[in-house]
Each structure stands twice: as structure tokens, then as C-alpha cells.
Amino acid sequence: MDATTGIPPAVTEETEPFWTAAKEGRLLVEHCPACGAESFPPRGICRSCRARPTGFAEVTGRGEVYSLTVNHQRWLPGLEVPYAVVLVEFPGRPGVRVAGRLRGCPPEEVSVGMAVEVGFEPGPGGFAIPSFTAVR
Ligand SMILES: [Zn+2]
């Protein structure tokens, strides 16, 4: 599937570092220098202590499927369905959950707790969109 069609993300001052890193294949989450809390997506204010400004931290390594849904609707011409959209948590990073399409795995084989790795694929407007692959 090619994800380059569709509506490009609305980039804000708070999310620009995330999109720039995504083009480099890196996943950034918001990190609060005052209390150390992390969160996603970036909002420019700490969800834990309300401090401004916030910074960023890079997430590396495997994540785990926290929740999932399977899309059966062909929203765009050429969209291959069905596919799973997963909400992923990362060990030692409470407060961070990232959603994305699961690639290379039939939706009926996805389960909560499954190990995944983040990757990026070309998206609309030249942006890189986070998605996940199953670790087998
Ligand atoms: Zn904070």
C-alpha cells in the first residue's frame, strides 16, 4: 500500500520537531525537562506538571501492542484492506502511546502484547508517517 495520497498533517510549532525527525526515521516524543514526564503527541505543555516549554526524547527499541482495531473500509482508491491500526506502548515510557498502521502482518494475527518495531513510510505532502512491523 502507498500512503502518499490523502491529507498531509497539520504541522504546528509543537509538532515540527516530530515531523522533521520522522523524515530521518526517528521517533520523538515530548519530554518535560521539569519533571521528566513523556507524552505523545507533542502539545508544547507537560501533561503531568503543566510546565512550558517542553523538549523531546527519542524512542528506540521494541514496543508492545496496547490496543488495536482492524479497518475494512476502502477510504481511498487503491487502499488495500483489511489492515490493522495498532496503539503501541514502549517499556519504561509511561504516558507514551503511538498509533500507526501495522505492516507486513495479516490483521487476524495481531494481538495485544505483540512485540513491534516502529518504522516510517512515505506519507502525503512528503511527510514520513510512523507505522509498525511485527517482531517475530
Ligand atoms: Zn512536567
Q: What is the 3-state secondary structure (H, E, C) of 13-63?
A: CCCHHHHHHHHCCCEEEEECCCCCCEECCCCCCCCCCCCCCCEEEEECCCE
Angle at 79 between CA 120 and CA 130, to 5 degrees: 15
Q: What is the Å distance from ligand 1's center to 54 Cα? A: 8
Q: What is the Å distance from ligand 1's center to 91 Cα? A: 19
Residue 73 grid coordinates: 473500509
Q: What is the Å distance from ligand 1's center to 50 Cα? A: 6
By DSSP bridging, strand 63-71 and strand 115-122 are: antiparallel
Q: What is the Å distance from ligand 1's center to 113 Cα? A: 28
pLDDT in tens, 66-83: 999 999 999 888 788 999
Q: What is the Å distance from ligand 1's center to 30 Cα? A: 10
Residues in contact with 53: Cβ distance below 8 Å, sequence separation at least 6, in sequence order = 44
Q: What is the Å distance from ligand 1's center to 98 Cα? A: 19
pLDDT in tens, 18-46: 999 999 999 999 999 999 999 999 999 99
**Global pTM value:** 0.90
